[in-house]
Chains A and B, each alone.
Chain A
Amino acid sequence: KAGVTQTPRYLIKTRGQQVTLSCSPISGHRSVSWYQQTPGQGLQFLFEYFSETQRNKGNFPGRFSGRQFSNSRSEMNVSTLELGDSALYLCASSLEAGGFNEQFFGPGTRLTVL
């Protein structure tokens, strides 16, 4: 079975721009969660989607948004980029929602904001 894939792997943007990251979950997994990983803050939960619905949301500003498609693929968007948005963005897929099942992580997208 193919693992979780994320595209692109690396991205460089400037302040004020917006960015869209993509995540393809493991086949059969309906839940996709997104995390931001930074050296100072560790792994921070952004949001979780299940069956095209946002099920849970972390403490991030409204500039961070996401969606999920009928094939369970998910995208997250960050608008009006700030320097502090530079981070590794990880997505994880699981069979069910709620954080009670094993989550399989992708390799991440490294976003650098200049």
Chain B
Amino acid sequence: GENVEQHPSTLSVQEGDSAVIKCTYSDSASNYFPWYKQELGKGPQLIIDIRSNVGEKKDQRIAVTLNKTAKHFSLHITETQPEDSAVYFCAATLGNKLTFGGGTRVLVKP
């Protein structure tokens, strides 16, 4: 079926280090891949997105890469800070709806 797999489910990094989260998707027709950050007690918030005609996109300390052939995309956070601690979700448009990965709980240790 249509699904998005996300790894790892938890990630603990030292402040200042980089964090990488990886996702794979099943539908080769997918063309929109957003990443969301969810803090405790809040709804998910879009932090970056990429479309299938682009291989990489950066926004300050955050970058996303997309490999359409392999059907996977990744989120890279550099120089992590304590406020980066949250749950991160990848998503892909599958069948005209957003399908989310299972989430990654990121803990940045000071």
* A107 vs B30: C-alpha distance when bound (angstroms): 27
Contact of B97 among A4, A58, A105, A108 (CB under 8 A): A58
Q: CB distance A48 to B97 under 8 Å? A: yes
Q: Collect the chain A residues with CB atoms within 8 Å of residue B43's CB.
A: 4, 90, 92, 105-108
Residues of A21-48 at the interface with B, using a CB-CB cut-off of 8 Å, are 33, 35, 42-43, 45, 48
Interface residues on chain A, size class:
20 to 34
* A105 vs B89: C-alpha distance when bound (angstroms): 13
A-B pairs under 8 A by CB, number: 55
Chain B 79-106: CB-based contact to A (< 8 A → 1; otherwise 0) = 0000000000100010111111111000
Is B110 an interface residue, CB under 8 A from the partner? Answer: no
- The dominant DSSP class at the B interface is strand
Q: Collect the chain A residues with CB atoms within 8 Å of residue B100's CB.
A: 35, 42-43
Q: Collect the chain B residues with CB atoms within 8 Å of residue A103's CB.
A: 34, 46, 98
Q: CB distance B34 to A98 under 8 Å? A: no
CB distance from B101 to the nearest CB of A (A): 7
CB distance from B99 to the nearest CB of A (A): 7
The 9 closest A-B pairs by CB, nearest first: A105-B43, A43-B100, A99-B98, A99-B93, A99-B97, A98-B96, A42-B102, A100-B32, A56-B97
Q: CB distance B103 to A33 under 8 Å? A: no
Q: CB distance B42 to A99 under 8 Å? A: no
What is B's interface to A at a CB cutoff of 8 Å? 31-32, 34, 36, 41-46, 49, 89, 93, 95-103
In the complex with contacts A98-B93, A99-B93, A99-B96, A105-B101 CB distance below 8 A: no
Q: CB distance A55 to B96 under 8 Å? A: yes
CB distance from B51 to the nearest CB of A (A): 9
Q: CB distance B89 to A43 under 8 Å? A: yes
Q: Collect the chain B residues with CB atoms within 8 Å of residue A98's CB.
A: 93, 96-97
Q: CB distance A42 to B103 under 8 Å? A: yes
Can you list 7 residue pairs at the A/B interface with Cβ under 8 Å? A35-B100, A98-B93, A100-B31, A100-B93, A102-B34, A104-B46, A105-B36
Q: CB distance A99 to B102 under 8 Å? A: no
Q: Collect the chain A residues with CB atoms within 8 Å of residue B102's CB.
A: 42
